[in-house]
Amino acid sequence: MKTRVICFDRALSYHDALMLQEEILAARIRDLVPDTVLFLEHTPVITCGVRSRPEQVLFSEGALKAKGIELAKSSRGGAVTFHGPGQLVMYPIIKLGAGGAAAADGAGGVRGYLSALEEVAIRTAEFFGVRAWRRKGMTGAWTEGGKLAAIGVRFRRWVSYHGMSFNVHPDLSGFAAIIPCGLAGEEVASLEKLLGKACPALHEVREVMAEQFGAVFNRKYPAPD
């Protein structure tokens, strides 16, 4: 099954990326386009998922604006997280169910989909020499230095959107403005924090993640647009 991959080499605002997702999502529901995976970075933004609470954002909107950080509500699952340049974001817009997005291990449904995204993150980290793992009852990928990848998704007519953020070399101070994913006292990691000068470039991580996505989801796709 072929999957279209679209990559952006400039940071997009959260609003612009969401509008793009909505456009592709509507077309995918009608089978006008193939399954599509977006790879991008965001301009600095704190997004509040459907399980977020006001107290998880530690600064006022005005104080965040002064720091150059936008505050945005999101329809994705999960609580509060931070996005910014240096963080690789993957938004798969793919159809679940019969003929849709099943992982290579045959896992299906929403839980299987989330597990498959975690597997993509874990394999990507391990490619660069970082051991990553799941935590029972939680979503994402953790390392000895903290949470490396966060996942928040939503479905419309069994087509996925939103997705996963993976910290390559973002400014981690952005996470100090929130209680990340609603988990008080948890550390946030990045490949740069864990690997130092050996941290790969974001485009290298993107290439590996695209390959791992193809392997986990049993997908074939042309060269990225």
pLDDT tens-digit profile of 80-124? 999 999 999 999 999 986 444 545 444 568 889 999 999 999 999
For residues 149 and 164, the answer to whether their CB atoms sit within 8 Å is: yes
What is the mean predicted confidence (pLDDT) over 202-209?
A: 98
Beta strands of the chain (E only): which ranges?
A: 4-12, 36-42, 45-48, 70-73, 80-83, 87-93, 141-143, 146-156, 159-167
What confidence score (pLDDT) does residue 108 get? 65
Q: Is the pLDDT of residue 165 over 80?
A: yes
What confidence score (pLDDT) does residue 160 get? 96
- Band (59; pLDDT cuts 50, 70, 90): very high
pLDDT > 70: what percent of the chain? 92
pLDDT digits (tens, 9 = 90+) for 4-54: 999 999 999 999 999 999 999 999 999 999 999 999 999 999 999 999 999
What confidence score (pLDDT) does residue 25 get? 98
What confidence score (pLDDT) does residue 106 get? 46
What confidence score (pLDDT) does residue 104 get? 46
- Residue of 7, 48, 181, 199 with catalytic role: 181
For residues 124 and 136, the answer to whether their CB atoms sit within 8 Å is: no
For residues 153 and 163, the answer to whether their CB atoms sit within 8 Å is: yes
Question: Which pTM value belongs to this model?
Answer: 0.93
Alpha helices for 128-225 (secondary structure H): 191-195, 202-216
194: left (phi over 0), alpha (psi -120 to 50) or beta: alpha
- Reading the block at residue 66, the tokens are 């002064």
pLDDT digits (tens, 9 = 90+) for 106-115: 456 888 999 9
Provide the 8-state DSSP code for 201: P
What confidence score (pLDDT) does residue 202 get? 98
Query: What is the overall mean pLDDT for the chain?
Result: 92
Closest CA to 125 of 65, 34, 182, 200: 200
Look up 7 and say whether it is catalytic: no
- Band (221; pLDDT cuts 50, 70, 90): low
What confidence score (pLDDT) does residue 185 get? 76
